Structure formats: structure tokens, C-alpha cells
Structure 1
Amino acid sequence: MKRRFLSLCLALLLLFTLAGCQKSSSSQDDANKDSAQQEQQKEEEKTPEENTDDVTIRVAGLKGPTAMGMVKMMDDSAKGDAQGNYDFTLAGAPEELTGPIVQGEFDIAAVPTNLASTLYNKTQGKVQLAALNTLGVLYIVETGDSIQSVEDLRGRTIYATGKGSTPEYALNYVLTQNGLTPGEDVQVEYKTEHSELAALLAAGQADLALLPQPFVTSVLTQNENARAALDLTQLWEDAAQGESVLTMGCLLVQKSFAQEHPQALATFLKEYQESVDYVTDENNLDEVSTLIEEQGIITKAVAQKALPQCNIVCITGDEMKTMTQGFLEILMNADPTSVGGALPGDDFYYLES
């Protein structure tokens, strides 16, 4: 009897032990399963943009103020010190970038502001304005002392660059607002690149030209008879009666890129702002001038003198939108073709933080 009772107790003990082990094992399995499910959910919730190393941004710029603001960023990228991955291309004239932008060969491009509007209309809204990067930098330069006012341009021939972009339309607006008709009262002949026209002025082969900084400084350095006769930025503001700022250059982004890679774009804009801050800090003038020369934009000696007059900025968000709208409205009223035939819609402005 005692033996049967002892056997029964041992059997019950074994049964409870096995049940406990099974329960413990089941609980552990459930915990492991829950943990795995949570990890899977986290992975599914992650967007590809949480790792910007997978995205290489193709960036284009022009050899002038629109690209000078990102030379520090370009240098960091070349050294492997940038947060994002970038592939930079610099061109000598806007028309070199227009086709590739339309074809989607660049994700971000530094171009004249009016060209961004034109491309928005041409691509039916496939590009957006991400930032303003250059304000007024245009001057009428002459060899001599005959130009003291806009009226003094009557009957003269001005050599210029930037046909079909901001320089042409800004000049036409200023001339018209001062009672002069381009092509009749004033003749304008266009050259392809800033450097080409600057060389003609420096050599005395042209006597009157519209040029942006830093090429103005380059001419003044090489030709002692040359002078900056008229500041087109001031003339623009006078003609617009304070209702518009001459916003020369900008950063545009492909809309599809902005939608698909918001974090990569945010990283780019952050690094671009840091680059602009570095470039415009007078304490970095010597190093930045070296970087500008290394990128083939202009010589170090000229860059050192010109940088403070280049109006390099990084303006985003609502301020960018307000400044650009006022500028484009004036261009639209003066010549609809200057903005692509119509003012861009609100979706033209990339306002994401």
C-alpha cells in the first residue's frame, strides 16, 4: 500500500515537473516570437532613407556664385567627411544643365531662379525650389568713366552673359523701367560664359558689359581702367519700389527625388547650410578662396576680394517662397517667357523641414 502511494506521488511530481517545463518552454517561445515580431515590425516601419549611405545625390552647379557656396561641402565629400554621398558636376553656362535636368540626370541643381520656374513649367511640375542661394551680384562694368546713370546707356552696346536667364531679364526690366527699350535704345550682345566676357573686358576688347561677381572683381583686378559703373541690384530695387529682391540663384530639386528620399534631401540641405556658413565666414576667407580656385571657378586672389560681394545665402521655407514670388511676379509682368509662360503653383516650393 505504501509502495503504491509512493509511486503515485512520484508520478504526480513528474507530471507537474514536465508541465512546468513545457509551460516555461512555451512562455520562452512566445517571448522569442513576440520579440522577433517586434523587430520585424521595426524593420518594416523603417524607410530606406534612415540610411542615407544608400543614396548618392547627383548635384550640378554653375561656375560662379551659385556654386561657390557649396565648395566646402564639395571638399568634405571628396575627403569622405560628408554625411551624405554626393556626385558634383560644375558647368560654365545654364544651357549646359537645362537638358540634363529635364531628363532627370541631376537630382539637385544650382541654377538661376527664373530658370527653375521655366523648368517647372516645362516639366509640368517635376522640379521644386529647395532654397535660394544667391542674391544680387550683377554690375554694369565699363572701361572709362562715361556711364553714371541708366540713361547714359542709350545708344550703347552692352555685352552680357546669361541669355534666357536672370541676367537678361533683370537687365531688360531695369532698362524698361528707366525708359529704354532693349534692342532699340540699347543693344545687347550675349556671350556664352562669364569667364569669356571677363577676359574680353580685361584685355580691353570690350568696353561695356553686364557681369556678376566674382567676375567683376576679376576684370577690375586685371584692367586698371575698368570700373563698376552701375549696381543692378540697387537699380532693380529702385525700379521695384521695394516690392522685390533680386534673387539671382537657387537650388532646385527633382520632385520625385524629394518625395522618395526626404531624409537624404534634409541631410543635403543641412550640409549645404553649413557649407554656406563656412564660406561666408571671413575667418575662413583664405581657405575658401583656395577651394574656389581648386574647383576651377576663379583664381584664389580674385576670390579673396570678391567673396564679400557675392551675396551667397541659404534661404529656405516660407521666407524663400515670399522672396521668390515677388521676384517672379515682376518678371512675369515684364515678360512671361522669363518664367516659362506662367507663375509656378504652390507645389513649386519645397517647404518640408
Structure 2
Amino acid sequence: MNATSPLSARTLVPLRSPDTVMAQLREHFGEHGVISGDDGSWSVVFDIGTATASRQGGGIAFSVEARDDTSLAYLQWSVAEHVCEFAPGETPEIAWDGGTQPGAPLPYFREMRVLRATQVTPAMRRLTLGGEKLDRFAHDGLHVRLLLAPKPGITPVWPVMAADGRQAWPDGERPVARVYTIRRIDVEAGEVDIDFVLHEGDEMPGAVFGRDARAGDVVGMTGPGGGTLPPAPHHLFFGDETALPAISRMLEELPEKARASAFIEIADPSERQELALRPGIELEWLSREGRPAGTTTLLADRLRALDPGHWQAGTYVWAGCEQTAARSIRSFLKSERRMPRQQYLVAAYWRRGQAGEVED
């Protein structure tokens, strides 16, 4: 695709309260991109492309532009999702001119097959998945959603493009979705590595798939997502084993002279991994010594105990862990360290006693 000719799509959405929706969209998108313009006509620049909105008649005219079909589809999805969210009681009619045609495969979906499995540590198993045209998964996001069969022996249906830019599902068994980090990607070979924490219990579909998967098994994959790590003079990473793949990859992809400190909670010393660490990067393992995951305060305690040398001007903090620990870390950074919101990201990767994705 010519770098000077971005892909585009547009739509006119009739609404009962277009001014209210415009204002709410502008505020929300302003938290994730750079806004310009006024209440009646504005534009927002994201890392993956641009969205514009303007009042027109009894509705809002939107246009989106991006350099690739995945980014364009993400922008269409985001506009449609938030218009519906900010127009309660309405069923907005959204039909895009341009972009992926309704009913076509999602540009950010790939069907993958298990190629091989490796036991990294007693509780971490790595699956190598094979697929085609994976170049878009190598940038602008570390994470993917794996679409897993809801039950053994069931072949799920895969999502397609809806007219409003979101996902539509054909008739049949829908898969179960779980978010994972691409630990390694080899675009030329058509391979990605995904690390699975082998939680106990058959009610954990991701862990069960990671444990039982064999060569030839099929899984869906959408993505990438999760953004990228912003530049900073010093990065601080905190996470338990569920965040270990993400932290490992971010450490490996830091600029050559970057400085970083990583603190990773694991069950016991047998779960330590050999990571490729350059000079200027320190790594500390925090062992639960047999205590159940999600029951300790190791990460928050270590954060509070950091010496002043870790807190340079512009330090960026990234954390991924159990929900209670994530809230404690976020509270400390916000209320006690009084860090600007753009200098940290704290994600609740899981919640003790609950399967599935966590909204926090």
C-alpha cells in the first residue's frame, strides 16, 4: 500500500441527541489520542490512524483513515461501539462506506494451528502457532485474543465484519475468548509463541487449552491490541506470572541503552526463566513460597520499598497482576506518588476466584 494513500471509510449516523454524543465522544477519545477542533467538528489522531466527526443535519458524520485494513477496522469498531454506548435507548443505524465489506472475514482475524509445545517451567507451557500473513501482528500491540472451542470436540464459528464495523457471528457455537501476549513472532516463518500459565481447574478454558493442545489443533486469533510502551528514561515493571510474557517481551524490545527494573512474582524458584537482559536492566524475582496466587502483597510491598534511585523524573511504571494487587499499585502511584496518569499503566490481568477477562 502506498504510504501516502491511507485507507478510509465514512458514515452518517442519525441520532436523537447528536450534540450530547459528540461531546461524550470527544471527551473519551481525547483520553486516548490528540484532539483538535471544537464541539461541532473535531478530529482525533491515534497511533493507528485518525477519526473525524462533524455535526450534520440530525446526526454525526464520521470518517476514519488508517495505513492498513486492521487499523481501519479497529477505528470503525471503536466509533460504532462508543456511539452506541453514548446513545442509550437508541439503536443507531451505522453503515460504512469503505473498509471491509459486511460478512467478509475480519482483517484482524487469523485461523491458527498448533505446531508444537514446549514446557518452559513446571507451570508455564509455550505453544507455537502457525498462520498466514502475520506481519500486522508484529507492531502496534503486544496482545491478541485467542478464540477457543467452548467444549472439546466442538468446532466454533469465526466472527465476520458487521455493517456497523463491529463483529458479527454466524449461526453456530461461538468460541471462548482469552487475551494473551505474543511472546515471540516470526513473520517470515508464519509463527507466534504464546505462553500459558497452567492454572489448576477445568473451568479455565485458556489453561486447559494450553495444557492439552496438540499439533494440528485449530484456534482463532484476533489482534494485535494493547498498544506499545512509551519512551521513558527509566521503566519500572511489576507483574505476576500472568504478566511475565508481556514483561519479558517488553524488556527484550527496549532501546539498546534503555534502563529498566523488573519485579516479577512467581510461585517458587522453579518458575524462574532465563531472560535476555542487556546492561542497564535489573530483574528481581519475588517468590510466594507456596502461598496461593493472588493472596500476597509482594508486588505492592516491593513498589513501596523502592529506593529513591528508581524514581527519576519521567519514570514510567507498567504493572500487570491480580485485580486486588493492581488496585493497590494504582492507588499508590496515584495518591501517594502523585504520578501523572500518562506515566503509568496498571492492568488487572485476572481476579482470584473468577475465570475470564477482568474489567478494572
TM norm structure 1:
0.23
The structure with the larger Rg is 1
Question: Which one has more relative contact order, counting CA pairs under 8 Å at least 6 apart?
Answer: 1
Name the one with the larger helix percent.
Answer: 1
TM norm structure 2:
0.23
